[in-house]
Amino acid sequence: MTILDKIIATKRQEIKHYTTIQESKDVFPEKPRLTDHLRNKNGVISEIKRASPSKGDIHTTVDIVAQAKKYEEAGAAAISVLTDETYFKGSIDDLRLVAQAVSVPVLCKDFMISEIQIDRAKQAGATIILLIVAALEKEELEQLYRYAKAQSLEILVEVHDEKEMALAVELGAELIGVNNRNLKTFEVSLERTAELAKNFPFNSGRILISESGLHTKEDAQFVYGCGASGILVGEALMRSENPGAWIREAIKGAVVR
């Protein structure tokens, strides 16, 4: 059983207890679309990540609102919030607090297998959701993609290999994320982005995002050089004493499209 299988099995149990709020009084600042940002310039999707299966605790006591504001002030293209409780020590309330505090797009980073999770993400202020091809049957992927689109959410479709990439393209995904982390071994290689970028359909308006394992501005430059318009960075920002400087360095010299 891979870690992804384990996370999904836990998620199936957890969602049985999920409920949605019928009438939310939460107010969220208006947010632009990540797709529009990344069509014009490279960007950093900056993540709130307290802990992870591969690294254990990363920064559990973080003030998530202060951290999110640092990301926004530094020019983050979007903020990703890990909402999984069991494996990442996040929560849907983390997402809500961040979405109330910032005016950049907010990604609900979770393991989506059901429409109720998409409803909860939207109610907590997310403007983007993640769909992981490896976690879903083709029909489930199509159904959740259609459902999220109908809610006017942006959808980041995550892939690990050529086969999954073909499915993401067939689905019509505009934002396609290549995860550099092997979810079986936890091994990280930016070469995965380089490999999958070779046949990426850039000319059909798709946007490539490189996810995981980016630690330095050289890492960022490497994947931007492969054609990625965006990078998704968690651990490096959560461990950094100056995440704002990290983001500014990463976007310095980024390509204006």
- Footprint on this chain of ligand LARABZUK (rule: CB under 6 A): 3, 47, 49, 52-54, 179, 183, 211-214, 232-236
Q: How far is the CB of 145 from ligand LARABZUK (least distance, A)?
A: 18
26-33 own/partner pairs: CB under 8 Å, 24+ apart: 26/96, 26/100, 26/123, 26/124, 26/125, 27/100, 28/99, 28/100, 28/125, 29/100, 29/102, 29/103, 30/103, 31/102, 31/103, 31/104, 31/105, 31/106, 31/127, 32/104, 32/105, 33/105, 33/127, 33/154
Residue number with CB closer to ligand LARABZUK (3 or 169): 3
Whether 42 is catalytic is no
Residue number with CB closer to ligand LARABZUK (136 or 233): 233
Residue number with CB closer to ligand LARABZUK (154 or 256): 154
Whether 109 is catalytic is yes
Residue number with CB closer to ligand LARABZUK (99 or 132): 132
Whether 85 is catalytic is no
Whether 40 is catalytic is no
Q: How far is the CB of 144 from ligand LARABZUK (least distance, A)?
A: 17
Whether 204 is catalytic is no
Residue number with CB closer to ligand LARABZUK (56 or 205): 56
Q: How far is the CB of 205 from ligand LARABZUK (least distance, A)?
A: 23
Q: How far is the CB of 232 from ligand LARABZUK (least distance, A)?
A: 5
Ranked by CB distance to ligand LARABZUK, the top (closest) residue is 234
Q: How far is the CB of 193 from ligand LARABZUK (least distance, A)?
A: 12
Q: Which of 31, 42, 46, 49 is catalytic?
A: 49
Active site residues: 47, 49, 109, 158, 179, 211-212
